[in-house]
Structure 1
Amino acid sequence: MATEQQQQQMQPASFLLGHVAPVLSLDSRDWMLASGSEDKTCRIWDLRTDKVHKALTGFDSPVATTTFTPVDGHTIYVGSGTKIHTFDLRMESLVLNSATQSTRVYDGAEDEINQIQVNHRATCLAACDDAGDVRVLDLKTHKWMRKFERIHDNIAMTVQFISKKDLQALSGGMDKLVVAWDFYKGRATQLIDTDTPQVEVAQSKQLFNPPFVHSIAAHPSGTRMAVGLGDGSIQFLHTSTDLPTAPSLEGGMAALSVTPSASKKSKKKAASSGKGTENGWLIGGRLSDAHASPIATIEYAGFNPGWLVTSSSNGSIAIWDDETARYETMQRQNEMQDLQKHNLALAKKGQVEGQVALP
């Protein structure tokens, strides 16, 4: 993270004025920035001039999510209500109306869509909604894949394709679960419960701001993810091939195996199918003091994948050194695990009087 002196030197480069209600989503490609708002519009900004390039209007609901396709510079998908609209930004008109100038409109979500994401080859689009569903649209046939079993039992807030994996993604929601999906197999493969007690997270903080999953970031390597939580913390995940290491040293720290807990039979089946596999996600450390308020968004910087950028509901933005944060939080977690084991061993030997208070 930037030093205090560097933080004081950080100032906005410019302001883009145009929306008349809160901005709900952002996405960028090259010189374009897309912003979706509660004012039921999406604006495409030209960052070279700080002016509006296109205005997408006529939506029936707030624009909750926008995403550019990664394979060209002119196609954008906009999620509003239960619909997903596609626009071709090469159209000459400055204002494009969703009712008459969308190139395609996809419907089928049961409830309001919270996020859409296109995979790296632009063959599929994933969407998650307030009903807890995660659905996938085949962009070649323009048809929804078969509906998957609902795993989230509350609002699904975020979905993110795993880099370099066409049909694998992670979703997160207000049930405090991160769900790993294999859309080719048509099912969830693993569950990660973010409510698992973390020794460095203050209990009072979790009481008022539970660790709901608000945002997930996928590293370009496809071997690590970062999860932004409602208690202001960042949960790191990694594969067995990308263990956290000291930035200046070789070798890695031992990783924790995922031990998910779920009440539903289907959830237990999904969790067990992902345990012990090479492709399963391992729980890394948790950065508990990232923000004082819930994390709204988290993203690996496109210009530097070694930087992790987070924003909070209190209006703060932070930039983290990903390698250092992963290593230091994992090291603390391992140290506390060792302390717990030591205390348990002493308790069993009768060397600790009274009840042992574990972190």
Structure 2
Amino acid sequence: FVSQAIIRTETEHSPEITTQLMAMAEPRKLRGHKATATCCISSRDRPGLVVTSGEDGCVCWFDLRCKDVQFTIDVGTEPVSSLCFKTGKEDILYASHGNEIKSFDVPMLSAGSWKPLESYSYNKDEVNQVVCNGRSSFLASADDSGDVKIIDVGQKCLYKTLRAGHTSICSSVQFIPWRPWEVITGGLDAKLVLWDFSKGRSQKIIDFSSDNSGQCLNPAFVHSIAVPEMDMVGKLDKICAVARGDGIVDLINIESELSRKGASKGGGSSSSSRNNVAKRVCLDYSVGGHKAAVSCVAFSQFQEKGRFLISGGNDKTVKIWDCVRCLDSDNNDNRDLLHLNIDLSKKVNWLCTNQSDSENLVVCDTSRVVKPQSQPLFHLFFLLLIATVSSSSPLDPKQLKALKILTATKDPCNNHTNHSSTTITCDDASPFRRVTSLSFASCSSSLSLPSKTLKPLSTSLLSLSFLNCPSLSPPKHLPISLRSFSAVSSFHSHHGLSGVYLARLVNLTHLSIFSVPVSASGLYVVLGNMRNITSLTISSANLPGKIPKAFHSNLTYIDLSNNILTGPLRPSITLLTDLKSLNLSRNSLSGEIPNKIGDLTLLKNLSLASNRFSGPVPSSVSSLSQLTHLDLSGNRLNGVVPSFFSGMKSLRHLNLADNSFHGVLPFNESFIKNLEFFQVRGNSGLCYNNTVLSWKLNLGIAPCDKYGLPLSSPPQKQKEEEEEEEDDYDDDDDGDGDGDGDKKEEKHGSTNKVVLGVAIALSSLVFFIVFLILLAKWSLLLK
């Protein structure tokens, strides 16, 4: 399958440059699905990680640093329509297929066998989109019946059903980050609905059906909605982007709409709406917009997050819009709104962006191939991409002969059929092409790699990967030219890999070992001579030993999770000043967290969960200004919870659960609500000030008494309030709390009547007995 892209800019370039930019370029293709790709999402914590779904019922896990699929999950026989990560814990993935939503724990991969953690079947019709809220407490799923189900993930039950908002298919749903109890939905009834899901009621309905501003004849169906993340709101304001079936992309100020009473009409022009940024911006064909239905929209994750809005449509184009200029009420130049146009060969189903410096736009079209696009700076750097022309030179004869054992095709460099477990990538050298990458997936038990196969490749092979090859023997001799080596769920029947074996790969920059036993006395045996290593993953490998006394300074990514490492976290790791991600969770590390951890000023992700660390949280953690994810759960940390966390502006995920913290939680409600994930359960000495924090936050700790100590049980007033609120929280499929509430009120009313009747009867009986006694005494006196 060949797909070509024409890349154009709509900014002021000379005719010569524009002609060059319209040259043909072939985007890289990610192969893994056997049918049309339906959805794609990208990781916020791990740049370059992309997960896709398809009509083949599978989910594919890609690392853009590698060519081939990393994992494949068989979700079911029906098409997978939507995907989302669990916010703050991206090892948990939610996938919808049919009317069911399944959750998967990715690290639990075992030899190609996937079992869902949970399965939710509350939707009556096919689910079109599933999303997770910022605190990972709720899922929202929109289906073909027009209903939206709100699922309580913690309680594993249905929380509410939002109905009567849409009269046709509900195609899209999003949580509103700055309004934690509200969602926004769109449907094929051309309506946009804002909901308060705690009450199960709609707050605002915007109807686009009467808008005639679109160029195409299709109705103004709402196909997709995008809402900016909290760290984008300062730049974009509290808006949402709407992809419409008539070719229009709308930017709508949510707060402005909520302040206007009654239902709204969706009309408006691109010029008039921009004169008032508080209302709407309409991006239509007059400003270079789509000429057919817009299928999806997304805000950019790369560089200046949220600066660009990306839309894809049935006109086989992807549009890059400059949001800042679109929302600038002083901007009257329509030509500046569309920053870039990309012409594709097929209609766009879905797209997503990621934080990579290149290949930061991923597109799912109507083929089974997913195409990452490189959008480095959106200007003349595209010339470098477009100037790349595929070579038609033949493969080196010696390498061709060596590869006959792996493939019978005449051109192994184009061996991309779904029936092959081997993927081969070649360079464009002349006069002969050479193999640069080999990837094996789901290997047959008969496959072997003799030395005579790899030896002719040793001068050019840069990347070698194995996925789900448990019966395969590791190659006896690996080319030392390798820059990347990956093994996932492989070599099990041959006891995995030895540390000495891996140590020979002295030129590696990327090493990734997952669910493969590594026999070594310690990590230092593996890393000893890898002076160029930048990314290190050895996870679920039963790796013993201690943290090395020294690391090579180029490391930017370390994942040593789920091993049997022991001893302290040595200060040597704090010398890695370029480190951006450190995951040492699920080991047996002990001692105190080194105070110099604050020297890792570029660190964005730090996970030390499920170890035996003790002592207080070092004060130097406050110096980690770029830290977004911090997980210290499941340790023996003590002391008070530091108040400096509330001053860490980038922090989005904070997990302090299951430790020995004590005292009063020093955070206010606004800080906790701004976090996407927050957990402090399992700290018996920790409590919260109920004059500062509401019990509704469900923190999992007790309120404090007047001495700053945890109360053994919540106050009576709080219990009464909880009982009063119970009717807002039901798992009835109707999602309507009113019915149950009326029943409860009737039940309480009937109970009160019974009690009153019993009390009156008892009082009457007592009075009658007293009367008889007095009467008897009076009779005696008369005698």
- Shorter-chain TM range is 0.7 to 0.9
Task: Tell me, in whole angstroms, the C-alpha distance in 1 between the residues paired with 2:259 and 2:204.
Answer: 15
Structure 1 runs (4+) deviating above 6 angstroms are 328-333
Paired AA for residue 318 in structure 2: I
- Counterpart of 2:97 in structure 1 is 80
- Counterpart of 1:108 in structure 2 is 122
Paired AA for residue 47 in structure 1: L
**SS in structure 1 at match of 2:89:** coil
Aligned partner of 1:175 among 189, 210, 228: 189
Shift of 1:189: 0.6
Q: 1:140 to 1:18 in 2, by over 3 A?
A: same
- Counterpart of 2:281 in structure 1 is 285
Q: 1:187 to 1:257 in 2, by over 3 A?
A: closer
Shift of 1:88: 0.5
Matches within 5 A, 1:23-42: 23-29=37-43, 30=46, 31-42=48-59
Asked whether 1:234 is paired with 2:249, we answer: yes
Q: 1:240 to 1:89 in 2, by over 3 A?
A: closer
Task: Tell me, in whole angstroms, the C-alpha distance in 2 between the residues paired with 1:171 and 1:331.
Answer: 31
Contact 1:54 1:94 in 2 (8 A): no
Sequence identity percentage: 26
TM-score, length-scaled by structure 1: 0.75
Q: 1:212 to 1:330 in 2, by over 3 A?
A: farther
Paired AA for residue 136 in structure 2: A
Matches within 5 A, 1:316-355: 316-327=317-328
Task: Tell me, in whole angstroms, the C-alpha distance in 1 between the residues paired with 2:85 and 2:92.
Answer: 6
- Counterpart of 2:10 in structure 1 is 3
Shift of 1:150: 2.7
Shift of 1:309: 0.6
- Counterpart of 1:315 in structure 2 is 316
- Return the structure number with greater relative CO, CA threshold 8 A, min gap 6: 1
Aligned partner of 1:260 among 263, 280, 302: 263
Paired AA for residue 223 in structure 1: K
Contact 2:31 2:69 in 1 (8 A): no
Paired AA for residue 129 in structure 1: D
Contact 2:151 2:160 in 1 (8 A): no
Shift of 1:147: 2.2
Deviations 1:123-177 (A, max 9, x none): 1110000000011111111111132333100000000111233221110000000
Paired AA for residue 219 in structure 1: P
**SS in structure 2 at match of 1:90:** helix
Aligned partner of 2:239 among 221, 224, 235: 224
Q: 1:285 to 1:110 in 2, by over 3 A?
A: same
Contact 2:204 2:262 in 1 (8 A): no
Task: Tell me, in whole angstroms, the C-alpha distance in 1 between the residues paired with 2:9 and 2:87.
Answer: 30
Shift of 1:307: 0.5
Deviations 1:78-99 (A, max 9, x none): 00000001001102336344xx
Higher helix share: 2
Paired AA for residue 233 in structure 1: I
**SS in structure 2 at match of 1:210:** coil
Task: Tell me, in whole angstroms, the C-alpha distance in 1 between the residues paired with 2:284 and 2:153.
Answer: 39
Task: Tell me, in whole angstroms, the C-alpha distance in 1 between the residues paired with 2:170 and 2:324.
Answer: 29
- Counterpart of 2:156 in structure 1 is 142
Contact 2:312 2:319 in 1 (8 A): yes
**SS in structure 2 at match of 1:49:** coil
Shift of 1:40: 1.3
Aligned partner of 2:67 among 30, 50, 68: 50
Aligned partner of 1:192 among 173, 185, 206: 206
Deviations 1:260-319 (A, max 9, x none): 269xxxxxxxxxxxxxxxxxx964021112211111110101222010011112331111
- Counterpart of 2:168 in structure 1 is 154
Deviations 1:295-349 (A, max 9, x none): 111010122201001111233111110122234799799xxxxxxxxxxxxxxxx
Paired AA for residue 187 in structure 2: G
Paired AA for residue 66 in structure 2: T
Contact 1:75 1:88 in 2 (8 A): yes
**SS in structure 1 at match of 2:198:** coil
Contact 2:294 2:311 in 1 (8 A): yes
Task: Tell me, in whole angstroms, the C-alpha distance in 1 between the residues paired with 2:23 and 2:133.
Answer: 36
Contact 1:176 1:212 in 2 (8 A): yes
Matches within 5 A, 1:84-99: 84-93=101-110, 95-97=112-114
Shift of 1:2: 3.9
**SS in structure 2 at match of 1:76:** strand
Aligned partner of 1:62 among 71, 74, 79: 79
Structure 1: runs of 5 or more not aligned:
244-254, 263-280, 334-359
Paired AA for residue 320 in structure 2: I
Q: 1:311 to 1:115 in 2, by over 3 A?
A: same
TM-score, length-scaled by structure 2: 0.35
Q: 1:96 to 1:25 in 2, by over 3 A?
A: farther
Task: Tell me, in whole angstroms, the C-alpha distance in 1 between the residues paired with 2:314 and 2:297.
Answer: 12
Task: Tell me, in whole angstroms, the C-alpha distance in 1 between the residues paired with 2:331 and 2:204.
Answer: 21
Contact 2:103 2:117 in 1 (8 A): yes
**Two-structure CA RMSD over aligned residues (Å):** 3.0
Task: Tell me, in whole angstroms, the C-alpha distance in 1 between the residues paired with 2:139 and 2:310.
Answer: 24
Contact 1:54 1:96 in 2 (8 A): no
Task: Tell me, in whole angstroms, the C-alpha distance in 2 between the residues paired with 1:282 and 1:178.
Answer: 17
**SS in structure 1 at match of 2:324:** helix
- Counterpart of 1:348 in structure 2 is none
- Counterpart of 2:437 in structure 1 is none
Deviations 1:94-119 (A, max 9, x none): 6344xxx1111111101000000111
Contact 1:68 1:76 in 2 (8 A): yes
Paired AA for residue 300 in structure 1: F
Structure 2: runs of 5 or more not aligned:
1-7, 12-17, 266-276, 335-783
Task: Tell me, in whole angstroms, the C-alpha distance in 2 between the residues paired with 1:315 and 1:135.
Answer: 32
Work out which of the two has the higher radius of gyration on C-alpha atoms and give 1 or 2: 2
**SS in structure 1 at match of 2:161:** coil
Paired AA for residue 3 in structure 1: E
**SS in structure 2 at match of 1:19:** coil
Q: 1:212 to 1:129 in 2, by over 3 A?
A: same
**SS in structure 2 at match of 1:121:** coil
Q: Count residues in correspondence.
A: 295
Paired AA for residue 248 in structure 2: S
Paired AA for residue 73 in structure 1: E
Task: Tell me, in whole angstroms, the C-alpha distance in 1 between the residues paired with 2:89 and 2:242.
Answer: 28
Higher strand share: 1
Paired AA for residue 106 in structure 1: Y
Q: 1:24 to 1:119 in 2, by over 3 A?
A: same
Contact 2:325 2:331 in 1 (8 A): no
Q: 1:225 to 1:112 in 2, by over 3 A?
A: same
- Counterpart of 1:294 in structure 2 is 293
